[in-house]
Amino acid sequence: MKRLTLVRHAKSDWGDASLEDFERPLNARGERDAPEMARRCAAAGLKPTLIVTSPAVRALATAKAFAKVLGYPARKIRHADEAYLATPGTLLEVVRKLGGRSSHVMIFGHNPGISQFAALLTGDDSLGELPTAAVIGLTADLKDWKDLAPGAATRTLYDYPKNRG
């Protein structure tokens, strides 16, 4: 059994129009929400064996905030250039290339791709667009990530900053 946790980056700052999209940092809300969502993941018992992130500033900052709370070494965060603004198909290939060693992978990415990837894996698009800092927990009966296929995962968790329940 493999566990995959998908995280949309936390809220980014649009205040500096001179910054390219890739360079946008987290805003104050994003800096607050990322560690809070990581604490919720920790409380749910999520402990990734591998963190993979888009290298965009906002995604990497979110991944680092989660790593700190979850006790994952920041130096071991894997950057996947192809995850920046990736389509669901590209994200599927990123995961399939991971092999069989990691039992719980946490991926940090962007909408619309990360939301569509969750829908692709579960065959359920009822959640629509994930809000910033949302977390989707999935499990799949696999020995190796190369076998991950559309519809092969079951959603076990869905949480987001404004969820108070």
Which residues are paired to 52 by β-bridges?
78, 107
Query: Which residue in 3, 135, 120, 18 sits closest to 65, CA to CA?
Result: 135
Q: How many residues does the chain have?
A: 165
How much is the pLDDT for 96?
97
Strands (E) located in the chain:
2-8, 50-53, 78-79, 104-109, 135-140, 153-159
pLDDT computed for residue 37 by the predictor:
98
**Contact partners, residue 28, CB within 8 Å, separation at least 6:** none
Percent of the chain topping pLDDT 90: 94
The domain 2-159: what is its CATH number? 3.40.50.1240
Token pair of 56, please? 């965009």
* Residue 118, pLDDT score: 98
Residue-wise over 25-56: b if at least 16 C-beta within 10 A, else e? bbbeebbbbbbebbebbeeeebebebbbbbbb
Q: What is the CA radius of gyration of the chain?
A: 15
Per-domain residue ranges for the chain?
2-159
Query: Taking the chain (165 residues) in consecutive chunks of 10 residues, what is each chunk's mean pLDDT?
Result: 98 92 96 98 96 98 98 97 97 95 97 97 94 98 96 97 83
